[in-house]
Amino acid sequence: MKMWKHTLIVILSVLSASSMAAPVELDRVAVIVNDGVILQSDIDIAIVTLETNSKKGSQALPDIDVLREQVLEKLIVDTIQFQESERLGVKIDDNRLNQAVQEIAKERNLTVDQLQNSLTEDGVSYATFREQVRKEIAISEARNALVRRRINILPAEVESLSEQLATETNASVQYRLQHIQLRLEEGTDKQALEKEANDMIKKLDQGEDFSTMAISYSKGPKALEGGDWGWLRKEEMPTIFADQITTQAKGAVIGPFRSGVGLHIIKISDTRGLETVAVTEVNARHILIKTSVILSDEGAQKQLQNYARRIESGEIKFGELAEQHSQDPGSAAKNGELGYQTPDLYVPEFKHQVEILPIGQISEPFKTVHGWHIVEVLDRREVDKTDTALTNKAYRILFNRKFNEEASAWMQEIRASAFVEFIENDEGEEQ
- The more confidently predicted of residues 49 and 409 is 409
Q: What's the pLDDT score for residue 122?
A: 75
In this prediction, residue 32 has a pLDDT band, given cuts at 50, 70 and 90, of very high
Q: Which of 75-89, 238-252, 284-298 has the lowest mean pLDDT?
A: 238-252
Percent over 70 (pLDDT), the chain: 87
- The more confidently predicted of residues 259 and 7 is 259
Q: What's the pLDDT score for residue 168?
A: 60
pLDDT at 21 over 80: no
Angle at 259 between CA 255 and CA 260, to 5 degrees: 155
- Predicted confidence (pLDDT) per residue in 300-318, tens digit: 999 999 999 999 999 999 9
Q: Which of 4-13, 194-203, 259-268, 417-426 has the lowest mean pLDDT?
A: 4-13
pLDDT at 24 over 50: no
Alpha carbon of 255 to those of 37, 143, 244, 267: distances in Å?
A: 38, 29, 8, 9
Q: Which amino acid is at 428?
A: G
Cα separation of 55 and 51, whole Å? 6
The CB density around residue 293, as the number of other CB atoms within 10 Å, is 5
My answer on whether omega of the bond before 358 falls inside 30° of 0, hence cis, is no
Q: Which of 186-190, 203-207, 217-221, 276-280 has the lowest mean pLDDT?
A: 276-280
Question: 3-state SS of the chain?
Answer: CCHHHHHCCCCCCCCCCCCCCCCCCCCCEEEEECCEEEEHHHHHHHHHHHHHHHHHHCCCCCCHHHHHHHHHHHHHHHHHHHHHHHHHCCCCCHHHHHHHHHHHHHHCCCCHHHHHHHHHHCCCCHHHHHHHHHHHHHHHHHHHHHHHCCCCCCHHHHHHHHHHHHCCCCCCCEEEEEEEEEECCCCCCHHHHHHHHHHHHHHHHCCCCHHHHHHHHCCCCCHHHCCEEEEEEHHHCCHHHHCCCCCCCCCCEEEEEEECCEEEEEEEEEEECCCCCCEEEEEEEEEEECCCCCCCHHHHHHHHHHHHHHHHCCCCCHHHHHHHHCCCHHHHCCCCEEEEECHHHCCHHHHHHHHHCCCCCECCCEEECCEEEEEEEEEEEEECCCHHHHHHHHHHHHHHHHHHHHHHHHHHHHHHHCCEEECECCCCCEC
pLDDT at 169 over 80: no
pLDDT at 16 over 80: no
Q: What's the pLDDT score for residue 299?
A: 94
Highest mean predicted confidence (pLDDT) among 18-27, 89-98, 244-253: 89-98
Cα separation of 155 and 325, whole Å? 30
In this prediction, residue 198 has a pLDDT band, given cuts at 50, 70 and 90, of very high
Cα separation of 125 and 136, whole Å? 17
Please compute the mean of the pLDDT values over residues 240-252 and round it to a whole number. Answer: 81
